[in-house]
């Protein structure tokens, strides 16, 4: 006996719709490896309809006074709290995430982030007016850019949707967002929440739209003539493709891509505390985090002690069922990702040593054991490339100069951390580390008020903070003659 699959739909101009041509794709629960839903595999007709709805809604949404947009976002945040258990269930099924961790680690920050941008909606200001030429006054207008095409990833589909729609809507833009083809469920639920709020407050339905689909759907969105901006959180390859596609009509592009965060541990560090925090930051969400603490550089004098402690922490870290409150993380998101992580382990060079883990676990789903690999060299594949799994690598460095050279010696530049009791050393390292974020004696905390974004192949543009809000605005100079 087979169980009927749940039917997910696009959300376009305030209505839930199937793909125009009826095509669908199966959505798999990574904790079981079994499909639980179908979602539209949207094509050009669906993208056209969503863009038309967003374009039609833009003038009215743009022209609202900021306080009115703030009311909408505040009500959306309230509704997220009211429907938290639905969101938790959807995200857990989407990703196989432990229910308790979605409840404690995702819902509260998401609600806070929406409320932060609700406040930012009332800060659309430019520099003060002034006379910079005799007889003329200049003012600066800050305006929304228009329709935003947004593509969200599968590692945090619900939270990344918030990071995209909240600043965009706050600034007066309208949105067409595409979730990953493997994780559409929570974004479709978010559409139901936002749509109900827009209806209740009497705003245009086309302000927020969701189009499900695959890479081709995303390409159609980015290349569409309507959006003024394309935003993506995803792989470096996907970011490059988006930048190339958007260049054809010079769209603005906002890219948050991969990471390979160095975790630089000096010999004066409290090893037990560092290991505890680094293991959590490396294995949380199965290491499927662009900022994950998965590339550890340890000063040689404490290397062996540190590796032994980290391997012990890995062996005590638990992965498993979504309803088990003792697990730190769930499965990898999909079969392809499991294959990728396995491939890194299978291709390890002879000088590498697996200190813990290194294998798939469980009889079903895409679970992978917490893993520690030591004995690595700077040019090894697993050091240079993003694994995006519960795998922590360890290298041994001699001095501060070598630590900086190796830390910066990758193509990514999103996040990093330094572990030391020496304040001067921490300040020197924070200056020279070429990453968008440097944590000191911690790794991975984020707050709505501070920017998140990197350099180099980690992309450009910022999420969160006033800087993230600014990315969804444009600047206009207005000059008026004083002659009347």
Is the domain spanning 6-257+458-477 CATH 3.40.605.10? The answer is yes
Along the 484 residues of the chain, how does pLDDT read in single tens digits? 457 899 999 999 999 999 999 999 999 999 999 999 999 999 999 999 999 999 999 999 999 999 999 999 999 999 999 999 999 999 999 999 999 999 999 999 999 999 999 999 998 877 778 999 999 999 999 999 999 999 999 999 999 999 999 999 999 999 999 999 999 999 999 999 999 999 999 999 999 999 999 999 999 999 999 999 999 999 999 999 999 999 999 999 999 999 999 999 999 999 999 999 999 999 999 999 999 999 999 999 999 999 999 999 999 999 999 999 999 999 999 999 999 999 999 999 999 999 999 999 998 999 999 999 999 999 999 999 999 999 999 999 999 999 999 999 999 999 999 999 999 999 999 999 999 999 999 999 999 999 999 999 999 999 999 999 999 999 999 999 999 7
Architecture of domain 262-448: 3-Layer(aba) Sandwich (3.40)
Q: What is the pLDDT of residue 445?
A: 96
The CATH 3.40.309.10 portion of the chain extends over: 262-448
Q: Could you tell me how many residues make up the chain?
A: 484
In the chain, which segments carry CATH 3.40.605.10?
6-257+458-477
Going from the C-alpha of 256 to that of each of 31, 44, 169, 415, 454, the distances in angstroms are 27, 25, 19, 12, 7
CA pair distance 49, 364, nearest whole angstrom: 39
Say if residues 181 and 39 touch (Cβ distance below 8 Å): yes
- The pLDDT value recorded for residue 127 is 78
Catalytic residues: 256
């Amino acid at each position: 006996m087979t169980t009927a699959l749940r039917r997910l739909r696009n959300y376009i101009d305030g209505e839930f719709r199937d793909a125009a041509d009826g095509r669908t794709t199966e959505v798999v629960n990574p904790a079981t490896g079994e499909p639980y839903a179908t979602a539209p595999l949207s094509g050009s007709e669906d993208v056209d309809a969503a863009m038309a709805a967003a374009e039609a809604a833009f003038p009215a949404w743009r022209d609202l006074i900021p306080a009115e947009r703030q009311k909408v976002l505040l009500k959306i945040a309230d509704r997220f709290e009211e429907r938290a258990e639905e969101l938790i269930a959807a995200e857990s099924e989407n990703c196989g995430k432990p229910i308790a961790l979605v409840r404690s680690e995702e819902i509260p920050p998401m609600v806070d982030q929406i409320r932060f941008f609700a406040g930012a909606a009332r800060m659309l200001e430019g520099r003060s007016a002034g006379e910079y030429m005799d007889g003329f006054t200049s003012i600066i207008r800050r305006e929304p850019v228009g329709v935003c095409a947004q593509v969200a990833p599968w590692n945090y589909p619900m939270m990344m949707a918030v990071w995209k729609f909240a600043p965009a809507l706050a600034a007066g833009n309208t949105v067409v967002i595409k979730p990953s083809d493997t994780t559409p469920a929570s974004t479709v639920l978010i559409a139901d929440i936002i749509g109900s709020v827009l209806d209740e407050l009497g705003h245009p339905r086309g302000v927020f739209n969701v189009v499900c689909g695959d890479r081709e759907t995303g390409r159609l969105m980015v290349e569409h003539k309507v959006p003024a901006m394309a935003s993506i959180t995803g792989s470096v390859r996907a970011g490059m493709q988006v930048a190339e596609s958007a260049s054809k009509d010079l769209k603005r592009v906002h890219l948050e891509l991969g990471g390979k965060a160095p975790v630089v541990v000096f010999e004066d560090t409290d090893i037990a505390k560092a290991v505890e925090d680094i293991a959590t930051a490396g294995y949380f969400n199965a290491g499927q985090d662009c900022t994950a603490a998965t590339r550890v550089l340890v000063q040689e004098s404490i290397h062996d002690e540190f590796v032994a402690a980290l391997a012990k922490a890995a062996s005590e870290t638990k992965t498993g069922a979504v309803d088990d409150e003792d697990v730190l993380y769930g499965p990898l998101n999909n079969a392809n990702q499991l294959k990728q992580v396995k491939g890194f382990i299978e291709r390890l060079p002879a000088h590498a040593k697996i200190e813990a883990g290194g294998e798939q676990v469980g009889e079903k789903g895409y679970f992978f054991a917490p893993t520690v690999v030591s004995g690595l060299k700077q040019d090894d594949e697993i050091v240079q490339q993003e694994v995006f799994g519960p795998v922590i690598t360890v290298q041994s460095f001699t001095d501060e100069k070598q630590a900086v050279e190796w830390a910066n010696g990758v193509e990514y530049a999103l996040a990093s951390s330094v572990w030391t009791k020496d304040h001067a050393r921490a300040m020197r390292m924070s200056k020279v580390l070429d990453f968008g974020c440097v944590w000191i004696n911690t790794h991975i905390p984020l707050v709505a008020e501070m920017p998140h974004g990197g350099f180099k192949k980690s992309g450009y543009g910022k999420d969160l903070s006033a800087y993230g809000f600014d990315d969804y605005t444009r600047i206009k100079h207005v000059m008026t003659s004083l002659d009347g």
